[in-house]
Amino acid sequence: MPNYEFYMNLRQFEPHGEFIEIILHKWQNDYELLELNHDYIQWLFPTRTQGRNFYSTPLNPQETRLMVNTSEVQQRLRRAYKMMLKFFGVKIVGEEEDKETTEVERAENFASRFENLTMNPHNNLRITRILHSLGELGAEEYQVPLVRFFLKEILIKNRLPRMKKSAMNFFIPAVRDSQDRQDLLFFAWRYYFPKEEFIWGNHGELARYKPKPVVAALLPAPLSEWTPVYSEKEKKWLTEEPGGYGEDGWFQMENGRIVLPATLAPEIVRALHASTHGGREMMEQQLEPHFYVPGMSAICKATAQQCVTCAKNNPRTGPSQPPGKQPIGLSPMASLQIDFTVLPPCKGYKYLLVMVCTLTGWVEAFPTRTEKTTEVVKSLMKEIIPRYGLPLEIGSDNGPAFIQNCLQQLARLLGITWKLHTAYRPQSSGKVERMNRTLKTLMSKLCQETSLGWLDLLPIVLLHIRCRPTPQLKLSPYELMFGRPTPLINGLRGTFGHWEKLN
């Protein structure tokens, strides 16, 4: 077993090599030797495949088990890994404080070492081999941090652009765990922008439609970002209205509504729509308590119809059906509907546990890795009950996660009435089924515009849904829960305590 003997310091690597302890001590900072010698890497990081050094031998199962279970081998493997990290311009984060840490960051000498990586592409093969060897020799916890580090340097910081294909085609597939590979692929997909296709046409005109990396902010922009310019006709009309001008030049009516200039209104409505992607009615209900502009309904309708993202994601609806009737709770969070919905894998999470209050429409959503009873119990006991108290009743379908005996016994002990019903039946679970669709639609829109994963966008999506007025009551779940207006549209500097009347 030559690889085991080499790691036990019983033999030199071949041809014309050194013992491993000499390599780990004397070669540590000799970057020229590490670069020009191509024979040591197959011995220092053996794999099951034959390398270019035909004096080295591939790992066999018996030798692999022995090396994994020998502490002396494992210690030297980690020392060899740290030596090669330094050669690449990388170091382990906070190793002095925590010996078990695996995360990596740029070393002090990263600039010169990154330049060496760019000039000598054979080091990409070395990195691939190191990743494979770590996985086979029981040190796979080091794989993901190293691959993620290189993906960030390549795709986000653009320091190692020539390594892009190697990272996508070799580094990621070398990771041993399939879920980790999926997470890394999704991370890379978010930042891997292929070359733009050639489009025939006037370049100046086409530049107007060129997509930006992030099209809109996740929250509405403050009103102070715009400068109001009222026309002479508007100024004349405002002289007859009770109200005055604030520090930023906006005219505020006596009822607190801000008058938007006709020239700025479409731009402000588009900014609101870009952050919420609501329809005409929803935007009107959000804007009406705060702003006044003639023709607001037409502006909201045109903005919603012209949105490309909404056109791609909004479901095609047929003729409206008469609304049905469902029992609702007597107080906020007293009656809940609960359901699991499936989403694309993101950082190990595949499911979303959604809970909706039948009275207020307030929604809570918790990412989960599995669709099991334990996830339901954990969310109820750690999140819902400590925040809102014990619900009186909970409704769900007959899914395996909800019919388990332990969950039903817990509900009985807590005095919660648990109602089971047929899956996908709107008459029984219409609120949570509709909320699942709303969550997916809004997350899809924001994912396309920001290139973020749904797990990162979930808090913002929940904020927007909670602040949307309902069609029936014209009040948002936030207002029904807390009894005050939604603090979503804000941003004027100063107060309107001292109004300057137009004479």
Specify whether 150 is located in the same domain as 293: no
Q: With cut-offs at 50, 70 and 90, classify the pLDDT of residue 195.
A: very low
Q: Do 14 and 163 lie in a common domain?
A: yes
Q: CATH no. for residue 436?
A: 3.30.420.10
Residues 362 and 422 grouped into a single domain = yes
Residues 346 and 309 in one domain: no
362 shares its domain with 390: yes
Is position 476 within any domain? no
β-strand 291-292 against 393-397: which pairing, if any? unpaired
pTM: 0.43
Residues 354, 427 within the same domain:
yes
Q: Determine whether 425 is exposed, middle or buried from the number of CB atoms within 10 Å of its CB (0-12, 13-18, 19+).
A: exposed
Task: Let me know if residue 482 belongs to a domain.
Answer: no
Above 90 in pLDDT, residue 424? no
User: Do 43 and 178 fall into the same domain?
Assistant: yes
Q: How far apart are CA 324 and CA 321, in angstroms?
A: 9
Q: Is residue 330 included in any domain, yes or no?
A: no
Over range 360-377, report the average pLDDT: 94
Residue 130 has pLDDT above 60, yes or no: yes
Cα–Cα dist 497/323, whole Å: 45
The answer to the question of residue 491 being in a domain is: no
Structure confidence at residue 244 (pLDDT): 81
Q: What is the CATH number of the domain that holds 219?
A: 1.10.340.70
In a domain? residue 252: yes
pLDDT at residue 91 greater than cutoff 80: yes
Segments forming the whole domain that contains residue 57: 2-191
Do residues 37 and 145 share a domain?
A: yes
Q: Is 345 in the same domain as 458?
A: yes
- Same domain? For 285 and 347 the reply is no
CB 37 within 8 A of CB 14: no
Q: What is the DSSP letter of 500?
A: B
Q: For residue range 442-489, what is the model confidence (pLDDT) as tens digits?
A: 888 888 877 788 999 999 899 889 988 877 777 889 989 988 877 655
Percentage helix, strand, coil, to 5, in the chain?
50, 10, 40
pLDDT tens digits for range 287-327: 777 788 778 888 888 887 777 677 766 665 555 555 556 77
| Window from 85-89, 230-234, 278-282 with minimum mean pLDDT | 278-282
Tokens for 111? 């600039």
Q: Structurally, how many domains does the chain consist of?
A: 3
Question: Does residue 339 sit within a domain?
Answer: yes
Q: Give percent of the chain above pLDDT 90.
A: 24
| DSSP alpha helix (H) spans, 152-225 | 164-166, 178-191, 203-207
On whether residue 197 sits in a domain, the answer given is: no
pLDDT of 448: 80
Average pLDDT estimate for 223-249: 77
